[in-house]
Amino acid sequence: MIQTIRNAWKVPELKKKILFTIMALLIFRLGSAIPVPYIDGNALDQYLRSQSGTILGLMNAMSGSAFNYATVFALSIQPYINSSIIIQLLTVAIPALERLAKEGGEEGRKKIASITRYTTVAIALLQGFGYYSLVNSYGLVNSGSLPGFWVGLVIVISFTAGSAFLMWLGEQITEFGIGNGISIILFAGIVSRFPRMVMDGISGFQTWLAISGGTAGVIAKNPSMDEATAQAYIDALKPGALAPWTLALIVIGMLALVVFIVYINNAERRIPVQYAKRVVGRKMYGGQSTHIPMKVSMSGVMPIIFAQSIASLPATVCAFMGITKESEGFGGGLMRVFDTGKPFYSIIYFLLIVGFSYFYSTMAFNPIEVANNLKKNGGFIPGMRPGKPTADFLTKVLSKITMFGALYLSVIAIAPIITGNLVGYQSLAIGGTSVIIVVGVALETVKQMEAQMLMRHYKGFLE
């Protein structure tokens, strides 16, 4: 990966794209530090830190800590992701949108992109109002003598404008930079939290050292404490303590996770294809052998992102209404059920990842279309007749590969949640998902760099 980046830096065109991407990410991080007016960001951060194992903590991780401080980019690109999910689902369900996507060509894609943008703004308005309701319900809005309506309007518009700007920035990165812009912004937000995660781990280890000696050790360091006070002190610090074996398990697990993700991302099923010989004039064409590569992880990180957005929706609505896990009634129960560390959330998360993996793989690979293209070009799979038998065979192979890829994504996303419950460190539920997204986006971006360098090489050769 490092060698690929070094080689890309030597190419003038790619160097400009890399610099453009870096500048765009600097703008993203700058906007993540600009607070929205009238909100007490420090008090909000103190409250949301206590919700690190919930959906609020997940949204904060995806936004690069902008959510906790109520900055301009607090909503991050979540509205755009939700909008993309809705439009893709509607494209399959509504025939008019399906025709527009398949037969509309470049003009059709522009119209669907325009619809997605308008939907993003609408969702951002709803989420911005929900965020305002959340901070207002806890008395974190400092309106002074201004009318509450105008203060709320400024806050909601600020959140919406920030989300719309990030959507535009992502599109600019896709067009003029390196990689998929939305994925790159998500990647940057997650990576920006890594230093804080390291500091939290060190702080947890220091806490364990402070209480490892029991009440006697605490009293030795604080002679003014009695045994009851020392025990209360230990009970208060115990949830944040990280033993050495726990830290070692987390580090080893993360490294193993990265290796496994890289291995599966490069795995593929190669279906052999033979082209028949044909004579055109005095030349003979065809007769060569090749293969159809079908990647095990064909859908990439998209099922993870889609599943998070859907699984987090109920708890997000409740949180924006000021409902917490301690609240009574239906809302409080819903927050407890959809807590990211609870079994029910894990089951829903697992099923959604499997479902979105199948949905996305069918959109990325059409067996009927591939079979028809092979037939038109005189190609065939050995042992399979052209046409419908070939399409059926490809569908069967796609189903098996997608199932394995879906189980891989599901297990690797659920394992950190289970581990976090066992060791009592709920932040792993978010950390594991972050590693999947970071590694997946990094691999996809490097592959795009390699593809662009290869295209440049062939262009020079042909000239």
Closest CA to 125 of 85, 96, 82, 86: 82
Beta-sheet pairing, 379-380 with 268-275: antiparallel
pLDDT at residue 198, as a whole number: 74
pLDDT at residue 192, as a whole number: 82
Closest CA to 115 of 101, 129, 105: 101
Looking at the predicted structure, is the pLDDT value of residue 422 above 90? Answer: no
Asked whether the beta carbons of 436 and 253 are under 8 A apart, the reply is no
Instruction: Provide the residue ranges of all domains of the chain, joining segments of one domain with +.
Output: 197-242
pLDDT at residue 461, as a whole number: 44
Per-residue pLDDT tens over the stretch 345-391: 888 888 888 888 888 887 778 888 888 888 887 788 888 888 888 88
What is the rounded CA–CA span in Å between residue 69 and residue 48?
9
Strands of 277-351, DSSP E: 278-280, 283-285, 289-295
Closest CA to 246 of 368, 427, 86: 427
Looking at the predicted structure, is the pLDDT value of residue 107 above 50? Answer: yes
Per-residue pLDDT tens over the stretch 14-45: 888 889 989 999 999 898 888 888 887 777 77
Q: Token pair 């709803």 is at which residue? A: 126
Integer Rg of the chain from CA: 26
Name every residue whose Cβ is closer than 8 Å to that of residue 376 and which is 6 or more positions away in sequence. none
What is the rounded CA–CA span in Å between residue 42 and residue 169?
28
The arithmetic mean of pLDDT across residues 87-100, rounded, is 80
Q: With bands split at pLDDT 50, 70 and 90, how would you rate the model's confidence at 428?
A: low
**Percent of the chain's residues with pLDDT above 70:** 85
Pair of tokens at residue 64: 């690069």
Say how many CA atoms lie within 13 Å of 273 toward its Cβ.
Answer: 23
Q: With bands split at pLDDT 50, 70 and 90, how would you rate the model's confidence at 462?
A: very low
Looking at the predicted structure, is the pLDDT value of residue 181 above 80? Answer: yes
Say how many CA atoms lie within 13 Å of 140 toward its Cβ.
Answer: 24
What is the rounded CA–CA span in Å between residue 143 and residue 135?
12
What is the rounded CA–CA span in Å between residue 204 and residue 459?
54
Per-residue pLDDT tens over the stretch 109-160: 888 888 889 999 999 998 888 888 878 877 778 766 666 778 888 999 999 9
Q: With bands split at pLDDT 50, 70 and 90, how would you rate the model's confidence at 435?
A: confident
Strands of 77-146, DSSP E: none
pLDDT at residue 165, as a whole number: 93
Closest CA to 299 of 366, 370, 356, 346: 356
What is the rounded CA–CA span in Å between residue 101 and residue 462?
34
Listed range (143-152, 199-208, 318-327, 422-431) with the worst mean pLDDT = 422-431
Asked whether the beta carbons of 95 and 39 are under 8 A apart, the reply is no
Q: Is 415 left (phi over 0), alpha (psi -120 to 50) or beta?
A: alpha
Beta-sheet pairing, 289-295 with 268-275: antiparallel
Looking at the predicted structure, is the pLDDT value of residue 63 above 70? Answer: yes
Name every residue whose Cβ is closer than 8 Å to that of residue 429 and which is 6 or more positions away in sequence. 53, 58, 340, 341, 416, 417, 420
Comparison of pLDDT for 270 and 340, the residue scoring more: 270
Per-residue pLDDT tens over the stretch 218-252: 777 777 777 777 777 777 767 666 677 777 777 78
